């Protein structure tokens, strides 16, 4: 559908930018809106806090597995139908979380909610279907700039809903928003992938060109390690805030909003400057930003400077770095083999979210009141270093190819 102008609520044309923003936003919201409620959810189900923390890692793990499948399927059968089915599963699973009689059943439905992450992965593939690499980086940045408002406000809203109506209110909100976005996608999202007459076997035969590309893996690992910083934070920061600093759900939600502000600023800068500077340079700038933020956080925690604010506020800088890296690394990943953009988005998303699930679970398991925030900071630091090394691989390969 390159060259076709989107018309809002016309499913014969590519989707409007607002549809892609809302599709990704619901996926982002489902990841973090309930985080301030974790202590109350553990009390409600009479379960250990660490068990309820699995509501983050099982979601991420299932999302990773799912994206290995939906990427190739969307390359073969198109983006629209895959996204619609995923939203139906998300809606049913959201209702299931509200009806769950115990923690085990809740975690099963929570895992199935991960179907909505399809929208985040295929949203990037849809953008790449519509425009070229540098414009894709800019457009992905604007899409994620819009959705960055959600992770900024999500924990704030979730914390407030919890204090007024209980933890169930956050999952009711997800169900309602899931239904609304399902209707919007049905009405507006036209198929963007050009149908090819080749068989599924012929499609698979194209995979080695993608899977043996050092540039592709460099971009994938940059994406995975950079987002790993955030996912580790997602898994460990609720414990740090509530158990170490004694924050209430609403206070914890406000501090989580700091990350969303930074991420939004970074995405704005990516949308504004990616076309001018190119994806690799923007990724390098983003990694430098993440490194600065983590160094400031280490200093604050080591000296006790600022208390809870000293731990959370430096993530404003880390969020800016993430906002510079992720749109550009995703655009680079999808551009190595544009005909397999769905496969690239799914595989890259699987590594990103699968690694995030592991880091999230690791952070949750290692943190205690005795260790303080240090295990989490160590995990985030190691992931940030991995992101730097991965983009250096891309730079080296680009020089070899004369790019």
Give pLDDT, residue 147: 60
Least trusted range by pLDDT, from 46-50, 301-305, 323-327, 388-392 = 46-50
The per-residue pLDDT for range 106-133, each reduced to its tens digit, is 999 999 998 888 887 787 778 777 766 6
pLDDT digits (tens, 9 = 90+) for 62-112: 887 887 777 777 777 778 888 899 999 999 999 999 999 999 999 999 999
Apex 235 CA angle, 23 and 321, nearest 5 = 65
pLDDT at 2 over 60: no
Q: Is the pLDDT of residue 402 over 90?
A: no
In a domain, 12, yes or no: no
Rounded CA separation 354/331 (Å): 20
For 179-192, the pLDDT digits (tens) are 999 999 999 888 87
Specify the pLDDT at position 89: 94
How far is Cα of residue 37 from the mean position of the Cα atoms in its chain? 20
Query: Do the beta carbons of residue 266 and residue 322 sit within 8 Å?
Result: yes
**pLDDT at 60 exceeding the cut of 70:** yes
Provide mean pLDDT across the span 142-161. Answer: 72
Domain for residue 269, yes or no? Answer: yes
C-alpha distances in angstroms, 355 versus 57, 223, 283, 348? 10, 10, 19, 11
Chain mean position to CA 122: 12
**Strand, helix or coil for residue 2:** coil
Say if residues 201 and 24 touch (Cβ distance below 8 Å): no
pTM comes to 0.72
Whether 6 is covered by a domain: the verdict is no
Mean residue pLDDT of the chain comes to 83
Please tell me the predicted confidence (pLDDT) of residue 36: 81
pLDDT at 400: 85
Residue 145 has pLDDT above 70, yes or no: no
Please state the rounded mean pLDDT for residues 298-303.
Answer: 94
- Given its phi and psi angles, is residue 48 left (phi above 0), alpha (psi -120 to 50 degrees) or beta? beta
% of the chain surpassing 90 pLDDT: 28
Residues above pLDDT 70, as percent of the chain? 90
The pLDDT tens digits for 21-47 are 888 888 878 877 887 888 888 888 888
Residues 6+ away with beta carbon under 8 Å from 291 = 321, 384, 388
The number of domains in the chain is 1
Residue 2 lies in a domain: no
In a domain, 303, yes or no: yes
Q: Residue 205: its pLDDT value, please?
A: 64
Look at residues 316, 312, 287 and name the one whose alpha carbon lies nearest to residue 393. 287
Q: What is the pLDDT of residues 253-280, one digit of tens each?
A: 788 777 778 888 888 888 788 888 888 9
Q: Tokens 């397999």 belong to which residue?
A: 340
pLDDT of residue 192: 75
- In this prediction, residue 65 carries a pLDDT of 80
Q: Does the residue 344 lie in any domain?
A: yes
Nearest 5°: CA angle at 95, between 91 and 96?
A: 115
What residues have CB less than 8 Å from 118, skipping those under 6 apart? 66, 67, 70, 82, 83, 86
Structural domain for 385, as ranges: 17-401
pLDDT of res. 175: 95
Give the pLDDT confidence score for residue 112 in this predicted structure: 92
Q: Is residue 373 part of a domain?
A: yes
pLDDT for residue 380 is more than 80: yes
- pLDDT(49) > 70: yes
The answer as to whether 3 is a domain residue is no
Alpha-carbon gap, residue 261 to 274, rounded angstroms: 19
CATH code (residue 32): 1.20.1250.20
What is the reported pLDDT for 3?
54
**Distance between CA atoms of residues 39 and 243, nearest Å:** 10
pLDDT tens per residue, range 337-347: 777 776 777 77
């Amino acid at each position: 559908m390159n060259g076709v102008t989107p018309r809002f609520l016309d499913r014969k044309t590519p989707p409007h930018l607002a549809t892609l923003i809302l599709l990704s936003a619901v996926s982002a919201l489902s990841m973090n809106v309930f985080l301030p409620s974790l202590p109350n959810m553990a009390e409600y189900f009479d379960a250990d806090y660490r068990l309820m923390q699995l509501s983050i890692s099982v979601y991420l793990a299932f999302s990773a597995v799912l994206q290995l499948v939906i990427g190739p399927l969307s390359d073969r059968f198109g983006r629209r139908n895959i996204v619609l089915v995923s939203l139906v599963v998300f809606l049913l699973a959201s209702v299931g979380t509200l009806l769950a009689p115990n923690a085990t059943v809740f975690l099963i439905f929570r895992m199935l909610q991960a179907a909505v992450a399809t929208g985040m992965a295929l949203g990037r593939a849809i953008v790449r279907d519509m425009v070229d690499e540098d414009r894709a980086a800019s457009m992905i940045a604007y899409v994620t700039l819009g959705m960055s408002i959600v992770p900024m406000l999500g924990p704030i809203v979730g914390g407030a809903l919890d204090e007024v109506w209980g933890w169930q209110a956050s999952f009711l909100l997800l169900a309602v928003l899931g239904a609304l976005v399902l209707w919007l996608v049905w009405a507006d999202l036209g198929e963007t992938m050009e149908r090819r007459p080749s068989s599924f076997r012929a499609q698979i035969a194209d995979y080695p060109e993608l899977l043996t590309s050092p540039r592709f893996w460099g971009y994938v690992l940059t994406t995975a390690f950079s987002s790993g910083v955030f996912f580790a934070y997602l898994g460990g920061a609720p414990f740090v805030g509530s158990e170490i600093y004694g924050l209430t759900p609403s206070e914890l939600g406000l501090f989580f909003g700091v990350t969303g502000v930074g991420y939004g600023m970074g995405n704005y800068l990516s949308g504004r400057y990616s076309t001018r500077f190119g994806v690799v340079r923007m990724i390098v700038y983003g990694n430098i930003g993440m490194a600065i933020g983590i160094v400031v956080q280490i200093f604050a925690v080591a000296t006790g400077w600022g208390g809870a604010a000293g731990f959370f506020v430096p993530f404003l800088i880390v969020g800016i770095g993430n906002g510079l890296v992720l749109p550009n690394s995703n655009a680079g990943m999808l551009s190595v083999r544009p005909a397999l953009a769905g496969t690239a988005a799914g595989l890259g998303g699987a590594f990103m979210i699968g690694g995030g699930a592991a880091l999230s679970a690791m952070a949750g398991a290692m943190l205690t009141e005795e260790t303080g925030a240090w295990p989490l900071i160590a995990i985030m630091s190691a992931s940030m270093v991995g992101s730097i090394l991965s983009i250096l691989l891309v730079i080296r390969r680009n020089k070899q190819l004369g790019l």
